Structure 1
């Protein structure tokens, strides 16, 4: 898969970073954590326990969109991780970009909360999980999105992703 990007999406705690890093290694692709593209103001806001609003996310989504365009223009392959919780966020990432596929890591709020409680070094606090699920717009009728069940083992998830992406990777 050259000049293409795969965006691993879902709520915090769904396993985006783990799956994204392992998928990138499996595909010999670059890996970019979308959290690293947040402007400083967003990081500070999230660290204080305040959820981001759409105006906070706009410059972040523009940075992701630009990075995906750069990957495409250099004929490289990259796996990005980005929550992309609303359809309009996914549309902002797609805008002007070719060869973008999304992998939605789907799971119950209970499982995600359990995972978040086990983390110690991430800015996402467990009380923010509610806000993520509240704004989540599950991908429906989006042909470039595949859904993966996070209750599977990591290896099963990776195998399922690669199988379902098929010839596009």
Structure 2
């Protein structure tokens, strides 16, 4: 017995949905309000994946799997450090979410879901993102709605970003940090 305390349990939230749903904005808001460490899954893509998406070519599973394993590894490493996280990641298929769940214990998902029209309008307003609006249709086709056994919190993208953040923090029971 060394007298060391086991690390405190960590929380790991993945804000998921198609491109343009508001994942990054909501995940950053959750991070700011709770102190969870934020990561943008897009920043983990290989240069080859980014080039494919810039060219309007959807990624296939062979291109996505190493990326998803890296994301799961990032969450596992943070959990080992005793650090809670929030990750903005599309996580469109059940198999992708299952792989992410292997990263850290108790990964929780917040699915930003809504009409293609609302999402398309949002995509038209953003600048500087490599994911072209033309790939929205392929993302919608790829999206597998979460199954009831996945325990995914589904929020409507027609809410404002602040409302989405507040709903996620409250419904997941995340602790707020004092500002």
TM bin, normalised by shorter chain, reads over 0.9
| Match of residue 151 from structure 1 | 158
Gaps of 5+ in 2: 1-7
| Match of residue 16 from structure 1 | 23
TM-score, with structure 1 as normaliser: 0.94
Q: Contact conserved, 1:3 with 1:74, CA < 8 A, in 2? A: no
Answering whether residue 34 of structure 2 is matched by residue 27 of structure 1, we say yes
Answering whether residue 109 of structure 2 is matched by residue 102 of structure 1, we say yes
1:60-89 CA-to-partner distances (Å, cap 9, x unmatched) read 000001001011111111110100000000
Structure number with greater Rg is 2
Q: Structure 1 stretches (4+) deviating beyond 3 angstroms? A: none
Size of the aligned set, in residue pairs, is: 169
Between the aligned partners of 1:62 and 1:129, the Cα distance in structure 2 is 24
1:33-78 CA-to-partner distances (Å, cap 9, x unmatched) read 0001111110111111111001000110000010010111111111
Q: Which region of structure 1 is more displaced relative to structure 2, 58-67 or 139-148?
A: 139-148
Answering whether residue 71 of structure 2 is matched by residue 70 of structure 1, we say no
| Match of residue 49 from structure 1 | 56
Gaps of 5+ in 1: none
Between the aligned partners of 1:166 and 1:44, the Cα distance in structure 2 is 39
Q: Contact conserved, 2:53 with 2:130, CA < 8 A, in 1? A: yes
TM-score, with structure 2 as normaliser: 0.89
| Match of residue 160 from structure 1 | 167
Task: Describe how 1:74-85 pairs up with structure 2 within 5 A.
Answer: 74-85=81-92
